[in-house]
């Protein structure tokens, strides 16, 4: 039986990955900051699907947290076959409205943790000749959206580059770029969502199903919904200056995840 490790597993897209992978018969390593929620999630998934669910409490905004998860990924005796780097957050406010400490924390979680965990996982996977990594980015990666969009753009570029370098090794890497998803993401960041049209919201479980299909097909970037595929196609031909103006008026606080 294969094992999947999911960061940010207790809510939103991470929880949807956990539900789907458990239903498909994968053992899980669940990673988040809240031990109580992790244990409740592990018990529920074990009882419902008969899989083993390991709990790892770690804060990926800290070196100790990253090192704890990296060590688990590097464990050759209990290999991880699929890594889902999902942990992330948003900051409410535009550039210079957000504290430097919060901006640096975002880069720690969205970039440094993704780099270090992906590296720990793929090194072990390459030795076995198989494995997969899903790095959760955002469609915000394709438009100017301050630190959040820049960090997600880094995730996309890094994942594509690593996928190219590991081609032929049996290890697949994919950047997942969702739009607005009904999760706790916006509420935790204190972000309003009243101005987001209903048609722009995605279902987390359907998103995960599409993402796993894209990973199986060998895609290095997944935009898992036709609506957002069309929107990102338009983005490619809109002048960058106009995109920047639209992004500024919308505000960083509505960054999708």
**Which tens digit of pLDDT belongs to each residue from 189-219?**
444 555 665 556 689 999 999 999 999 999 9
Q: Which of 95, 148, 228, 254 is catalytic?
A: 148
| Residues 126-169 pLDDT 10s | 999 999 999 999 999 998 879 999 999 999 999 999 999 999 99
Task: Output the pLDDT for position 83.
Answer: 98
For 250, the enclosing helix (H) or strand (E) is helix 240-250
Is residue 197 packed enough to be buried (19+ CB in 10 Å), middle (13-18) or exposed (0-12)?
Answer: exposed
The reply to whether 254 belongs to the active site is: no
For the chain, the 3-state helix, strand and coil shares in percent, each to the nearest 5, are 55, 15, 30
| pTM (2 d.p.) | 0.87
CATH T-level fold of 3-254: Rossmann fold (3.40.50)
> Token pair for residue 49?
């699907």
């Amino acid at each position: 039986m294969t094992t999947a490790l999911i960061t940010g597993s207790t809510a939103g897209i991470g929880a949807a990955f956990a539900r789907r992978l458990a239903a498909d018969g994968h053992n899980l390593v669940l990673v988040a900051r809240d031990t109580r929620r992790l244990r409740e999630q592990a018990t529920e998934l074990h009882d419902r699907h008969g899989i083993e669910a390991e709990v790892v409490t770690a804060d990926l905004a800290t070196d100790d947290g990253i090192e704890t998860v990296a060590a688990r990924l590097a464990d050759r005796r209990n290999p991880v076959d699929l890594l889902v780097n999902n942990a992330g957050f948003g900051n409410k406010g535009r550039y210079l409205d957000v504290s430097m400490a919060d901006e640096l924390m975002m880069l720690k979680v969205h970039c440094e943790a993704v780099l270090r965990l992906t590296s720990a996982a793929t090194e072990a996977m390459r030795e076995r000749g198989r494995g997969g990594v899903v790095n959760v980015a955002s469609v915000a990666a394709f438009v100017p959206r301050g630190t959040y969009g820049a960090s997600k753009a880094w995730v996309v570029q890094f994942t594509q580059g690593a996928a190219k370098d590991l081609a032929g090794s049996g290890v697949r890497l994919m950047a997942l770029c969702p739009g607005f998803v009904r999760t706790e993401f916006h509420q935790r960041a204190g972000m309003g969502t009243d101005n987001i049209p209903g048609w722009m919201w995605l279902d987390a479980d359907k998103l995960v199903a599409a993402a796993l299909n894209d990973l199986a097909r060998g895609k290095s970037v997944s935009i898992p919904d036709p609506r957002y595929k069309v929107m990102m196609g338009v983005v490619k031909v809109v002048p960058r200056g106009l995109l920047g103006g639209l992004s500024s008026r919308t505000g960083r606080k509505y960054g999708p995840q």
